[in-house]
């Protein structure tokens, strides 16, 4: 079931991201709008486009989210491998994607200070990258 859904999600994301899909969706909307006078702009005429767009959007959200989750996990695994393989890299960075937004922001801010692009006055008051990573490693 997982392989089927993965294949379906990947193929659907590729099809929905193709320019032809946008053109077809636009043409469907134009055909629907032009058909308004034929159907006297009835409630059923309006319901057709509302229902179709709602259902398709609802289903597309799940397919696109699945593709993004897989892409994000693959990218993270590749970055973790780079951190593991590069001599000067700090392996403590592996797995920080599981931290809270606040913890990740603190590490990013410390990295910016470490690189010299941050506020020099805040440097002594805030934790260093190594201290923040040590906290993370200690909590595992």
Model pLDDT for residues 59-111, shown as the tens digit of each residue: 999 988 888 899 999 999 999 999 999 998 888 889 888 889 999 999 999 88
DSSP assignment of 46-65 equals: HHHHHHHHHHHHHHHHHHHH
At residue 124, the pLDDT reads 47
| Tokens coding 132 | 């923040």
CA distance 21 to 16: 6
Q: Do 114 and 52 reside in the same domain of the chain?
A: no
CA distance 15 to 118: 43
Give per-residue pLDDT as tens, 23-42.
999 999 999 999 999 999 99
Mean pLDDT for the stretch of residues 116-140: 67
At residue 125, the pLDDT reads 53
pLDDT at residue 22 greater than cutoff 90: yes
Task: Give Cα 6 to chain centroid, integer Å.
Answer: 16
Domain of 131 in residue numbering reads as 91-138
Q: Do 12 and 75 reside in the same domain of the chain?
A: yes
pLDDT at residue 139 greater than cutoff 70: no
Q: Half-sphere exposure of 106 toward its Cβ, with a 13 Å CA cutoff?
A: 17
Q: Do 79 and 112 reside in the same domain of the chain?
A: no
Q: Do 101 and 75 reside in the same domain of the chain?
A: no
User: How many domains are contained in the chain?
Assistant: 2
Max Cα–Cα distance, the chain, nearest Å: 73
């Amino acid at each position: 079931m997982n392989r089927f859904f993965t294949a379906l999600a990947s193929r659907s994301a590729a099809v929905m991201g193709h320019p032809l899909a946008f053109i077809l969706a636009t043409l469907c909307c134009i055909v629907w709008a032009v058909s308004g006078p034929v159907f006297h702009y009835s409630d059923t005429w309006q319901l057709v486009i509302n229902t179709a767009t709602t259902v398709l959007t609802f289903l597309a959200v799940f397919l696109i989210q699945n593709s993004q989750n897989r892409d994000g996990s693959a990218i993270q695994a590749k970055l973790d491998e780079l951190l593991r393989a590069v001599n000067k890299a700090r392996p403590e960075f592996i797995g920080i994607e599981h931290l809270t937004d606040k913890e990740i922001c603190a590490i990013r801010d410390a990295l910016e200070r470490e690189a010299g692009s941050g506020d020099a006055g805040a440097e002594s008051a805030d934790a260093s990258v190594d201290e923040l990573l040590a906290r993370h490693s200690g909590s595992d």
